[in-house]
Chains A and B, each alone.
Chain A
């Protein structure tokens, strides 16, 4: 009985996050979030190899800083049609714990410049911001674990 309860508890703890489908306005809202919190927003997709390679670093950062004002958010660029068949199985298999969004905006030309004019559209790409402190950094390439750690240390309140 105890073992069963324990099993239930651990399996609940290991459940992956839900993936919330969002539109550009919600992404913009996140980008403009006024809190004294470091947001680390990573743009990825299930089909993007370098994104998948760097994903464990973001997951580790999420676990490490979850009791601090640091929010790690993974925004999938997969098509919304692929959410059930590709994104959800991927997320569940890896038991992703970071906050997960899927941006349902097929036409990148309508929104990429509005979130970051310097972004060419290649993924992986990651933004770091704390709007309360006017801090912002954008990286359009794969990031190393050490680099991620350094940037979080640099900006975390």
Chain B
């Protein structure tokens, strides 16, 4: 009798491990691919107002940027994200920055800390908080910074035109040779297809809320 219990306990453990593994979030194949329709969102900006893509009547698209306060890569790119906005908002492609990180795991990504950082850097674009991580999961963002350039279609939906990184050198802006995001945006603005619609970079993993 006693001997029979051990395999049972063992099986129960295996089952538990299986359940736990299934609960681990975000396989990197989920989320949008280039060409997919991106959903709109309604997220709270640092000024307390809710922001949606549909609020912008004149925009031709958006540079949806998953970024945060705490990742050194994100911080290294802050000025370049501001530059992107200042260059492409007048051409119809403003930045909307989304902080995806769970505040329990990353306390300095709290809404209050976002407000402080947005003020310090005078962000000229909304910096919104995806508290439930629903939008981050829908888009399939995995790291910060992670850019999704979307283009507004005639029917008012948003089509993903570019997914990836800003440029080829996070550490040294003055050594940048390939401005991947700008190249994609220039093509979109010129009415052309994006020739390099997917790029990759090392970045900080998004801090997923523990189940």
Task: Please report A residues at the B interface, Cβ cutoff 8 Å.
Answer: 43, 45, 47-48, 50, 77, 79, 81-82, 106-110, 112-113, 118-124, 140-142
Q: Tell me the complex Cα distance, A79–B170, Å.
A: 9
Q: If A79-B171, A118-B28 touch, does A108 touch B201 (CB 8 Å cutoff)?
A: yes
B142 near A120: Cβ-Cβ < 8 Å? yes
List of B residues within 8 angstroms of A107 by Cβ:
168-169, 178, 201
Q: Is A121 a contact partner of B180 (Cβ separation < 8 A)?
A: no
Q: Point out the residues of chain B lying under 8 angstroms from A50, CB to CB.
A: 205, 207
- CB-CB under 8 A for A122 and B172, given A108-B165, A109-B200: no
Q: Which residues of A contact B205 (CB under 8 A)?
A: 48, 50, 122-124, 140-142
- What residues of B have a CB within 8 angstroms of the CB of A122 in the complex? 28, 142-143, 202-206
Identify the closest chain A residue to B144 (Cβ).
A122
Question: How far in angstroms is the closest Cβ of chain A from B67?
Answer: 13
Q: Does B164 sit within 8 A of A, measured CB to CB?
A: yes
- List which B167-211 residues lie within 8 A (CB) of chain A: 168-172, 175, 178, 180, 199-207
Task: Tell me the bound Cα distance from A124 to B165 in angstroms.
Answer: 18
Any chain A CB within 8 A of the CB of B29? yes
Q: What are 7 contact pairs spanning A and B, CB under 8 A?
A: A48-B205, A50-B207, A106-B171, A121-B143, A121-B200, A122-B202, A123-B204
Question: What's the dominant secondary structure at chain A's contact region?
Answer: loop
A-contacting residues of B (Cβ < 8 Å)?
24, 26, 28-29, 71-73, 142-143, 146, 164-165, 168-172, 175, 178, 180, 199-207
Query: Contacts A123-B203, A142-B205 given; 12 further ones with Cβ under 8 A?
Result: A43-B202, A106-B172, A107-B168, A109-B164, A112-B200, A112-B201, A113-B200, A119-B28, A120-B142, A121-B201, A122-B204, A141-B205
- B143 — nearest CB in chain A belongs to which residue? A122
CB distance from B10 to the nearest CB of A (A): 14
Q: Is the CB of A140 within 8 A of B200?
A: no
Bound-state CA distance A47–B178 (Å) is 24
Complex CA–CA separation, A137 to B146 (angstroms): 25
Query: Whole-angstrom distance from the CB of A112 to the nearest CB of chain B?
Result: 4
The smallest beta-carbon distance between A85 and chain B, in angstroms, is 13
Q: Considering the complex of A and B, which 9 residue pairs feature the smallest CB-CB distances, nearest first?
A: A122-B143, A107-B168, A79-B171, A122-B205, A108-B201, A120-B142, A47-B72, A112-B200, A109-B199
Known pairs A118-B29, A121-B143, A122-B143; A77 contacts B171 (CB<8 A): no
> Which residues of chain A are within 8 angstroms of B142 by Cβ–Cβ distance?
120-122, 140
Q: Within the assembled complex, what's the spacing in Å between the Cα atoms of A141 and B24?
A: 10
Q: Which residues of B contact A121 (CB under 8 A)?
A: 142-143, 165, 200-203
